[in-house]
């Protein structure tokens, strides 16, 4: 009985997690920037992509770039974080 209940809970969590990620953009697909490696064109594309994100995704990206600025500090990562925070101000 406990195993059946555990399986039901696990499948329900998996279904809600899958549904939550269907509509959102995967964080890792664009968010993997190491150091100052993006060209200005790529940086503009990233900014355009950030402009299309929902408030929920922007908050996730913000947290990601806060962490990234601690672990891989670079001017580019700081600029991206500032852009995300400014975008959050506009949306709220």
Which helix (H) or strand (E) element contains residue 61?
Answer: helix 55-71
Alpha helix (H) ranges present in the chain? 2-22, 27-31, 40-51, 55-71, 75-91
- By percentage, how much of the chain surpasses pLDDT 70? 60
Confidence band for 28, pLDDT divided at 50, 70 and 90: very low
Average pLDDT over residues 69-75: 94
* Global confidence as pTM: 0.61
* pLDDT single digits (tens) 29-66: 454 544 456 888 899 999 999 999 999 999 999 999 99
């Amino acid at each position: 009985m406990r195993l059946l209940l555990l399986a039901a809970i696990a499948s329900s969590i998996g279904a809600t997690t899958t549904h939550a990620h269907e509509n959102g953009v995967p964080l890792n697909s664009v968010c993997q920037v190491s150091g100052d490696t993006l060209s200005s064109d790529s940086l503009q594309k990233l900014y355009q992509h950030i402009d299309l994100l929902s408030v929920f995704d922007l908050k996730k990206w913000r947290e990601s770039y806060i962490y990234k600025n601690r672990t891989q500090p670079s001017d580019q990562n700081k600029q991206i974080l500032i852009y995300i925070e400014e975008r959050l101000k506009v949306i709220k």
